[in-house]
Amino acid sequence: MLGGFCLTIGKVSVSNQVQQAKKPWNILEYLVYNSNREISSDELVSIIWSNNSNVNSTNALKTLIFRTRKLLEPFNLPTQQLISQKHGSYCWNPSIDLLLDTSEFEDLCIRSRQPGITGPEKLALLTQALALYQGDFLPKSAWEPWVIPVSRHYHELFVCAATQAADLFLEEGQWDSIAKVCHQAVAIEPHNEDFQYHLIHALYQGGHQHQALAQYRKMADSFYNEFAITPSERMTDLYKLIQQQEHGINIDLHLIQLSMQEEKKLSGAYFCEFTVFRDIYQLERRAISRTGNSIFLGLLTLSEEDGKLPKSAVLSRAMGHLGDATTNSLRHGDVYTRYSVSQYLILLPSASYENGKMVMQRIIRNYKKAYIRKELTVHYTLQAVSPLEHLS
């Protein structure tokens, strides 16, 4: 039940991986999870039709139980024996023992917290528990009211187990094992910065600098896109450390230049993460203090017509199109970044205010050609960057 529903008897399995009606699977999942007790008809009705008072519950439940039993036909066993009915209640046949991954997972977590247990024993139990956790509880039924608190319970157990395992591996300096645990953890909880930090740090310590940098950039992009936040100071300090350690002593300038080249030739403007953009912005400010040239900072903001933030799925798609329009509308040497969930920042060097306006308007025109949604709007602001000595 962790990561998906699959019921196995002998060599035969049934699962809800194919698209089928949800209600029979929901009944089966509920009966299996509560296989240690009889469940009244009223309880099943409240689970399945909690928001529908117009249902003829008696007949509807009988029909649904019939459809649920049909899911079990591949086992070639009498389905009425698998799902028993007596005294107006239903239950999984108690004479057919069930081994649930949820019960085994929780038991291992509890045993790992026993007083007096040694570090290696605790780590062995946690490792077994984590191997069982293939994902959150019943993900295809994640929004069923009865599933939500149960899923939260096992998710919290998993986070605790993964944290403890990573800490124990850290004491032993087992970097590959930490990376394995944290890879699993960030797949389930990608926005937990502790897991991200330990994963990146373990990859770096294990000699996988390129993978560590790639994971950092993936994490930073996700944090920008989902929450409009930048990585913490400890995360950026780790990033700088990895970058510094990645380069050994090399006196061949040609090789150094090759190492700094982009991995593939890209057309359009240069997109970078905000921390890099900020450094470029500061360099440009220093430059115009000396040369007197002008540079403008542009801000593109995407919103609904009333100024509200679009829904997440719509916003993600629209921002992708706006990013493409920005890339293709700017010069090869121009730089831009994702500033928030709905904004891009652009540096326009050696430009006048009028030229800057034309550039911003061109981006918006190209965006509208590629993505037509009347309820969405993009507006821009443009401001000259002040030389370094002119800022208070």
111-163 confidence digits (pLDDT tens)? 999 999 999 999 999 999 999 999 999 999 999 999 999 999 999 999 999 99
* Percent of the chain residues topping a pLDDT of 70: 90
Among the residue ranges 32-36, 52-56, 154-158, 175-179, the one predicted with the least confidence is: 52-56
- Sorted by where each starts, the structural domains of the chain and their CATH numbers stand as 6-92 (1.10.10.10), 101-246 (1.25.40.10), 270-390 (3.30.70.270)
Query: What Cα–Cα distance (Å) separates residue 279 from each residue in 114, 268, 275?
Result: 51, 20, 7
343-354 confidence digits (pLDDT tens)? 999 998 867 889
Q: Backbone dihedral region of 296: left (phi > 0), alpha (psi from -120 to 50 degrees) or beta?
A: beta
pLDDT over threshold 80, residue 284: yes
Q: Backbone dihedral region of 373: left (phi > 0), alpha (psi from -120 to 50 degrees) or beta?
A: beta
- The pTM of the full predicted model, rounded to 2 decimals, is 0.69
Task: Identify the residue whose tokens are 């036909």.
Answer: 73
